[in-house]
Amino acid sequence: MPRKKRDDRTPFGQALVQIREDFGIDRILDLAAMIKLSVPYLSAIEIGDKDPPPELVENVAKTLNLGPEQRARLEHVAQMSRRTLKIPLQDGLTIHHKTLAIEFANLLEQLDISQCLRLRSMLAMCAREVTERKKQ
């Protein structure tokens, strides 16, 4: 199988390569040893064949002593690169919360870009309202 170019990688894979370059880590072998992962597994994550596990961001951040902004960016691109998303439905959520999550999951693939943008706008408005309510 031909090697994927940097542009073919997931956002997380691109960020990991950039971090390697920024820290002078020339080989994936070296980063894999530093964060205690196998080279094939880390390579599969870089090229998007495997999802980045949640603990990987923490591991890379601690090992390389990433600053808060670098760490937040790495977490963001990790989330954007995952093929699945888990929404915890903890105790205390109402049937309305759970129904919303289920309906959204069932409809997500059918939404067009404009509908996604409208929903994001509505969520941003809700986030502002929640923030204001917490201040009170």
Q: The whole model's pTM is what?
A: 0.70
The two most distant CA atoms of the chain are separated, in Å, by 58
**Residue 7 pLDDT:** 58
Reading phi first (left if > 0) and then psi (alpha if -120 to 50, else beta), residue 67 is in beta
Residue with tokens 């530093």: 34
**Residue 111 pLDDT:** 96
Report the percent of the chain where pLDDT is more than 90. Answer: 74
**Residue 90 pLDDT:** 81
**Consecutive H or E run containing 124:** helix 113-135
